[in-house]
C-alpha cells in the first residue's frame, strides 16, 4: 500500500461496500490539522462568550442572553458537526453507521437554523434599541427573550424534521453501497428551505439593519450640527460613528451572504440539494464556518468581551470570590 490514492473498499468484508479514495498521508494529516484547528477555535471562541455572559451579573441582559444562546448553538456546531463532517470528507467514506447517518444531518440542520434564527432576533433587538429607545425596556424583557429563544429552538427542530422527513424515514440511509451516507433534499423542500432559512431571514436582517443604519447616521448628523460651532472634536467623533456603523452593517450582511448563499446554489438552479455533489464539501464548510465567525462579529466588537476574556484567561474569576459583580460595562 503506497498511500497514493488507489481504489480500495470502505468495508473490505462486504461485497456491497463503496469504493474508497485513499488520500496521501501528507494530505490527510494537513486536512485533519485544519479540521482540528477550526473546530477548536469555534468551540473556544463561543465558550468564552458563554462563560462571560453566564458569570458576570452585569452582562445578563436581554441582548446578551441572545448572544449566549447563539454561542451555545455555534459551540455545538464546532463540537459535534464539524468533526463528523470533517471525518466524512477526509476519509471519503461514511464509517459511523446508519444511525449516525440518520441523526447527523438533522442535528446539523437544526443547529444552523437556530444560529440563523438568533441572528434575526439580534437584528430585531438592535432595531428596537436604536429606533425606539424609550420603549426598549418595556418591549424587550428578559422573559420575552427567553420565550423567543425557546421558540426558536423548538421551531428549528420541528421545521428540520419536516424538511428531512424523507431522509429520517428511511430504514437504511446508505446510498447504493455501504460506506456512503446520502442526504437528499428534494427540489420542492429545497425551495421552501431556501426562502425559510435564507431569503426570508436575509431580507429581514437587511431591512432592519438598513433602518438602524439610517437612524444612527441621522442621529450622528444631528449631534454634529448641534456641536459644530462649539467643538470640532465632536464633529470628528460623529463622523467616526457613521463609518463604524457602516462598517459593522457591511460585515454582518457580507459574512452571512458569503457563508450561506453558496449552499443554496443548487436550489437556485432548480436542482435537488445533495451531499453527493462534487462541490458539496465546499458549500457545507462555508456555511459551518459562520459558527466560528459569529462570536467575532457579535462579541469581539463589544469592549466588555475583551475585558471579560482577560479576566477569564488570567483565572481571576476563580481567585476573586466577588468576581461575578465585577464592573464589565
Averaged pLDDT of the chain? 79
At residue 5, the pLDDT reads 45
Q: How far is Cα 183 from Cα 268, in angstroms, rounded to an integer?
A: 18
CB distance 183 to 274 below 8 Å: yes
Percent of the chain past pLDDT 90, that is, above it, reads 21
Q: How many CB atoms lie within 10 A of CB 38?
A: 19
* Mean pLDDT calculated for residue range 78-91: 88
- Is the pLDDT reported for residue 51 higher than 90? yes
Domains annotated for the chain, with CATH where assigned, are 7-325 (1.20.1070.10)
CA distances from 244 to 114, 157, 217 (A): 28, 36, 10
**What predicted TM-score, i.e. pTM, was given to this entire model?**
0.83
* Mean pLDDT calculated for residue range 212-217: 80
- Is the pLDDT reported for residue 2 higher than 50? no
* Least-confidence region, from 1-5, 125-129, 295-299: 1-5
* Mean pLDDT calculated for residue range 61-70: 91
Among 19, 6, 169, 184, which residue's Cα sits nearest to residue 94? 19
DSSP code per residue over 134-171: HHHHHHS-HHHHHHHHHHHHHHHHHHHHHHTHHHHT-S
| pLDDT digit string, tens, across residues 259-291 | 877 777 766 666 655 555 556 677 788 888 888
CB distance 266 to 190 below 8 Å: yes
At residue 262, the pLDDT reads 78
Residue 145's pLDDT band, with cuts at 50, 70 and 90, is: very high
Amino acid at each position: 500500500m503506497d498511500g497514493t490514492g488507489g481504489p480500495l473498499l470502505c468495508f473490505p468484508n462486504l461485497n456491497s461496500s463503496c469504493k474508497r479514495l485513499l488520500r496521501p498521508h501528507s494530505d490527510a494529516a494537513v486536512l485533519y490539522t485544519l479540521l482540528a484547528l477550526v473546530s477548536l477555535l469555534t468551540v473556544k471562541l463561543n465558550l468564552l462568550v458563554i462563560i462571560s455572559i453566564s458569570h458576570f451579573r452585569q452582562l445578563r441582559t436581554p441582548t446578551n442572553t441572545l448572544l449566549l444562546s447563539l454561542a451555545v448553538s455555534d459551540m455545538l456546531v464546532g463540537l459535534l458537526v464539524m468533526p463528523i463532517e470533517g471525518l466524512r470528507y477526509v476519509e471519503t467514506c461514511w464509517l459511523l453507521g446508519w444511525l449516525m447517518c440518520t441523526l447527523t444531518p438533522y442535528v446539523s440542520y437544526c443547529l444552523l437554523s437556530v444560529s440563523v434564527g438568533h441572528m434575526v432576533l439580534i437584528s430585531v433587538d438592535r432595531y428596537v434599541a436604536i429606533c425606539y429607545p424609550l420603549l426598549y425596556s418595556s418591549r424587550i424583557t428578559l422573559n420575552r427573550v427567553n420565550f423567543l429563544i425557546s421558540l426558536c429552538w423548538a421551531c428549528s427542530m420541528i421545521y428540520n424534521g419536516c424538511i428531512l422527513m424523507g431522509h429520517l424515514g428511511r430504514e437504511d440511509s446508505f446510498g447504493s453501497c455501504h460506506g456512503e451516507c446520502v442526504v437528499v433534499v428534494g427540489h420542492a423542500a429545497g425551495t421552501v428551505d431556501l426562502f425559510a432559512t435564507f431569503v426570508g431571514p436575509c431580507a429581514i436582517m437587511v431591512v432592519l439593519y438598513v433602518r438602524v443604519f439610517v437612524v444612527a447616521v441621522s442621529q450622528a448628523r444631528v449631534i454634529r450640527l448641534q456641536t459644530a460651532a462649539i467643538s470640532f472634536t465632536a464633529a470628528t467623533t460623529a463622523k467616526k460613528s457613521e463609518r463604524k456603523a457602516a462598517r459593522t452593517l457591511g460585515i454582518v450582511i457580507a459574512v452571512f451572504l458569503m457563508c450561506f448563499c453558496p449552499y443554496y446554489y443548487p436550489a437556485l438552479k432548480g436542482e435537488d440539494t445533495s451531499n453527493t455533489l462534487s462541490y458539496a464539501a465546499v458549500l457545507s464548510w462555508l456555511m459551518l464556518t459562520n459558527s466560528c465567525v459569529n462570536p467575532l462579529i457579535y462579541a469581539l466588537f463589544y469592549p466588555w468581551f475583551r475585558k471579560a476574556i482577560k479576566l477569564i484567561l488570567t483565572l481571576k474569576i476563580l481567585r476573586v470570590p466577588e468576581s461575578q459583580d465585577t464592573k464589565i460595562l
